[in-house]
């Protein structure tokens, strides 16, 4: 059987646009000689549609769209994801479904059984789980259709190993009809430290059931989420035969192999490397580009400080949007070194990015003079430092408003975790580009950006981190060195380990307690940050829900 893996980039809620894209891909698959075209989970509405699923007009349009797509499936079959009405007498009003389309009609509707309610997922809010299990038949072959989580009944959870989340295993039920092929339509977001596990789950399913396995994922940015595509064909012995593009659209028709295959026919896809920085780079560029393109935005403004964070964000923005659509603002004060201005100008010039130097020194004096009668003889402290940060945000937003730019936030994950940022200052922006990248990872990302040519001046990469808000200031005045801080943050946030577990690994107890206290007491700040492009398994945002007011370690 020839199966087309249709890996596309959708827009949530754009049912008409998504439908046109699906029908166009059907034509490509037809021309490639495919018997069956497979599209991703909730392709018709885009994933995740969230509370758009409560809008009757969206559901009506999605139902009509599936019928329209079916009318194009006369000499080719298709599997398309979309919402369907729950015909039962109880439960939620919708199912998350896979429609099997053939001969111009909907031949079967397969409902998702396992609805994830962890991390970024909240499907139980919208859908009733399926309870019926059936295969479909095409050209004499029986196909087991599953939807994303339906093959994740067992998941690896850190120190606990494989963990069974659900009481039912859909594939066990579907195997009772002896299918010859497993197809999984999915919406798997990118995570640099989980994408390998995803492939392991796919391979384990193929080997356990001794069936060829196909998974079709969507691609593209969806606000904070980035879907990487990477759709696969895996043979029944667990050999990964085909892998589609990373973070790109592609329609590829593959020949589903028999139980025994000649591997010499295939150029097997490479495994993911230990260092995923190159993939993170492409994912972030995809996230920025789609945030702007899908949101009807064109131009970005970045506050360029001479530090590595803003330099990385500027480079990513210029790559995603074009240098001509990216503006850099340099906003020095008396505390800004001449070096900061020089290297910032050098970088903007290398990129061909327009820039302006807007001193905030006079404004700083005016604000401090205005406040002086009230502050009296109190010594300058963080108050005066934050005034500078907020003045810069005001200038950035003024340019954004006047000229139609979107402000990109440049805070990294280490800063966001510990609260090392100023509300309504350097935490401002419409999108946080590197808010899921720890500071030590930012340096690796800078080297990756420079791997073909030096875009970020070496002087920016080598200088000690500083906010330059007072004389001779360094980040280490307030925080531990990042090479000591980040391993603790990673274990506490991404690994969800307790203080005791982290200390047992040899970390200094006082430092661990200090770091965890900083994280816990900074939650109110994170609730007010822009959406963060998610590239790890635990980003700040919808996948990490911690109370602002709480008492815990």
Q: Please, are residues 340 and 333 in contact by the beta-carbon 8 Å criterion?
A: no
Q: Using the Cα atoms of residue 452, residue 456, residue 462 and residue 467 in order, give the sign of their dihedral.
A: negative
d(CA 392, CA 406) in angstroms, rounded, equals: 15
Q: Please, are residues 38 and 214 in contact by the beta-carbon 8 Å criterion?
A: yes
Distances (CA, A) of 443 to 250, 456, 493, 528: 32, 11, 20, 26
The answer to whether residue 41 is catalytic is yes
| Structure-token match 């093959």, residue found | 151
State both tokens at 448: 């990756």
State both tokens at 479: 């925080």
Q: Using the Cα atoms of residue 426, residue 428, residue 430 and residue 433 in order, give the sign of their dihedral.
A: positive
Distances (CA, A) of 363 to 367, 394, 398, 421: 6, 11, 14, 21
State both tokens at 226: 């980035």
The answer to whether residue 148 is catalytic is yes
Q: Find the catalytic residue in 112, 211, 525, 538.
A: 112
Closest CA to 39 of 3, 70, 83, 8: 8
Q: At 544, phi and psi to the nearest 5?
A: -135, 105
Q: At 422, phi and psi to the nearest 5?
A: -110, 120
d(CA 264, CA 518) in angstroms, rounded, equals: 55
d(CA 187, CA 150) in angstroms, rounded, equals: 12
Closest CA to 250 of 258, 260, 261, 242: 242
The three-point CA angle 395-398-400 to 5° equals 110
d(CA 18, CA 298) in angstroms, rounded, equals: 22
Q: Find the catalytic residue in 73, 123, 148, 319.
A: 148
Output b/e per residue, 333-369; b: 16+ Cβ within 10 A.
Answer: bebbeeebbebbbebbebbebebeebebeebbeebee
d(CA 180, CA 318) in angstroms, rounded, equals: 48
Contacts of 315 (CB under 8 A, 6+ apart): 347, 351, 449, 455, 456
Output b/e per residue, 146-167; b: 16+ Cβ within 10 A.
Answer: bbbbbbbbbbeeeeeeeeeebe
Q: Which residues are marked as active site?
A: 41, 112, 148
């Amino acid at each position: 059987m020839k199966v087309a893996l249709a890996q596309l980039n959708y827009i949530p809620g754009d049912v008409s646009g998504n439908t046109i894209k699906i029908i166009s891909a059907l034509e490509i698959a037809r021309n490639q000689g495919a018997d069956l075209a497979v599209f991703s989970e909730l392709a018709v509405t885009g994933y995740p549609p969230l509370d758009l699923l409560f809008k009757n007009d969206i559901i009506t349009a999605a139902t009509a769209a599936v019928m329209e797509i079916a009318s194009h499936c006369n000499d080719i079959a298709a599997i398309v994801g979309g919402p369907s009405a729950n015909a039962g007498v109880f439960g939620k009003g919708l199912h998350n479904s896979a429609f099997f389309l053939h001969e111009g009609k909907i031949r079967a509707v397969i409902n998702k059984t396992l609805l994830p309610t962890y991390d970024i997922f909240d499907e139980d809010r919208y859908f009733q789980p399926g309870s019926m299990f059936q295969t479909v038949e095409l050209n004499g072959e029986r196909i087991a259709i599953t939807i994303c989580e339906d093959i994740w009944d067992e998941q690896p959870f850190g120190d606990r190993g494989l963990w069974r989340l659900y009481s039912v295993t859909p594939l066990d039920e579907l195997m009772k009809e002896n299918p010859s092929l497993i197809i999984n339509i999915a919406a798997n977001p990118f995570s640099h430290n989980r994408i390998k596990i995803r492939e392991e789950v796919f391979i384990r399913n193929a080997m356990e059931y001794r069936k060829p396995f196909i998974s079709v994922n969507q691609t593209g940015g969806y606000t904070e989420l980035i879907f990487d595509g990477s759709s696969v064909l895996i043979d029944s012995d667990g050999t990964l035969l085909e892998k589609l593009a990373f973070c790109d659209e592609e329609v590829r028709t593959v020949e589903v192999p028999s139980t025994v295959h000649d591997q010499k026919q295939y150029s097997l896809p490479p495994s993911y490397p230990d260092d995923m920085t190159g993939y993170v780079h492409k994912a972030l560029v995809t996230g920025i580009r789609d945030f702007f393109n899908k949101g009807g935005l064109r131009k970005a403004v970045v506050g360029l400080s001479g530090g590595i964070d803003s330099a990385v964000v500027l480079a990513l923005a210029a790559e995603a949007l074009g240098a001509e659509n990216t503006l850099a603002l340099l906003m020095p004060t008396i505390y800004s070194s001449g070096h900061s201005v020089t290297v910032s100008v050098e970088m903007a010039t290398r990129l061909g990015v327009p820039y302006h130097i807007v001193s905030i020194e006079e404004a700083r004096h005016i604000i401090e003079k205005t406040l002086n009668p009230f502050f009296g003889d109190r010594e300058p402290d963080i108050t005066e430092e934050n005034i500078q940060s907020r003045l810069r945000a005001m200038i950035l937003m003024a340019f954004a408003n006047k000229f139609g730019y979107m402000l990109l936030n440049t805070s990294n994950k280490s800063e966001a975790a510990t609260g090392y940022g100023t509300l309504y200052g350097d935490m401002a922006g419409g999108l946080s580009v590197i808010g899921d990248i720890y500071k030590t990872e930012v340096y690796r990302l800078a080297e990756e950006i420079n791997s073909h040519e030096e875009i970020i001046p070496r002087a920016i990469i080598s200088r000690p981190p500083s906010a330059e808000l007072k004389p001779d200031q360094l980040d280490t005045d307030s925080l531990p060195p990042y090479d000591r801080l980040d391993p603790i943050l990673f274990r506490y946030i991404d690994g969800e380990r307790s203080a005791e577990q982290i200390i047992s690994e040899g970390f200094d107890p006082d430092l661990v307690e200090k770091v965890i206290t900083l994280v816990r007491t900074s939650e109110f700040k994170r609730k007010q940050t822009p959406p963060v492009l998610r590239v790890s398994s635990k980003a700040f945002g919808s996948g990490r829900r911690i109370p602002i007011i709480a008492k815990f370690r």
